[in-house]
Structure 1
């Protein structure tokens, strides 16, 4: 029987799932409210083949929101890049499933092979060094899956709190409310912050932001609200944002967020 789908389930495919590195990642995922599920293959075949079959079965049964997949399985030279073969099988069957590849080959003689593997897929696939912090792993998974946390840091000086619908400027460790950014202005900034968090430089189209505008000319109304947001944040931070700063107009397409420099 197929397992019921749970929100934010991450399938972990790694022959070292009990290592200190993976245990730290699993704890961090749980802290985020995500459910890590570890693939445990049956014995009998080569290590790489075991994980390939078990992974495809687990995806079908558990329907995860994302996969954390190691590039290398075991010490046999034939399994050095087995994860790339598993990746190919997953992408063919589930082309929209986000996959974050763990690699030990960020440096060294095998770096080019791993890098080429990252460029083969027109799918939500990314590679990360296996020594990256658990926080970075979670961040990359969030961006792949397309989710944002309840509190979105915008650079080092702005915080967007989605749960309370508040915007804060940061002064050291202190959070200072920017109370004037509410209602439609908050929703516009939230959309921009979430897009930036998922992928820095990501643009939000006019059509999506104009939902938070009113009047006979929603595009003009949107421009006014964008200017108000920039002015209010500028006052809170003690700066004045020019046209090419903080919120950028991408001609005839939309807006994107550019966090202020520290």
Structure 2
């Protein structure tokens, strides 16, 4: 008798998938299959399976089951309630036990008997139709999160689908978006899904590096190259060998230094300061900026050839005000995160608070929302209540007050001034620092402090 619900099967053997579709068509209403494990996040989000039949080995010549265990943990993180049945050609009891400990519901060894497979899958299907994971905000949160990224809205779902396509390649990627939209989080998700994930991603904040330190930071130096060079030191590009190099705020790089970066990327070698040896580098470059690089090219402040080199794929992160569907899931995610971290009871996000969160424009984007939820947990009051809410004024007022308005604490006034200047300068942080007459590093510190 056919049961309601759906099964997702992930196996790199297409012939096996064809056989399973034929075998299970009378067992379950909906059977989806894929040979590509990197498609799992998209399929989990779109198909919402009740049961996942997961192969343990996908790489050619690899049969240790580690890849299957990795994807098992990822599936359980995305959807803790889904039943995962492990599929392996190797009767390794220890591997099966590890899988069960990591959350698998059962396992089956190839070659299998049809009746045994059907019995195991039937046992995991819901008794009365498919699971309803769309009722209520909290219960559906897990199915919308990929590597910490909530993608319920159409714009973000499109971004994540592209991420799943390009992550396994070595294509250079440019991530654009306003401050606080999660560009570094997306870069880490791309790295996590890449073939380079075994090595740690190396990050460099171009906005925090002075021009005089750029070469030593990126290319390294040899002993005696300058006064304080007491030993050889590899640069960030060397440290990212075989991994991913994430260059944040790439739009802040001066024109002369852009040429040096381009040369290293083209030659795929670096030469340490004071040295003569060319050191080969194998890196995958991900860059991020909140600036319009195409406009900077037109203005002559950014090299067009460098833009082409780092912009094989461009991913744009929309601001939070354009991601209304993601605000509540993000708020709940941050609430749980900080409640666990501070060992406090989570605060209820009631209907009134939900409306307030959705109506507020969030000029600081996800970073501001995260800081707001952290303050709420620490203080123990609803996110937007008196004393526990946003750092600027009271809710309902303009987040960036007009020039001349004086209100709130000195810190809130400083935050408002910085936020207004960033808005007036269209996110050009170099120009913001110039207008405010402060060092760029000081500006970065204050942006992080105030959640802008």
Give the TM-score of the pair, scaled to structure 1. 0.43
Higher helix share: 2
Greater Rg by CA: 2
Give the TM-score of the pair, scaled to structure 2. 0.26
Higher strand share: 1
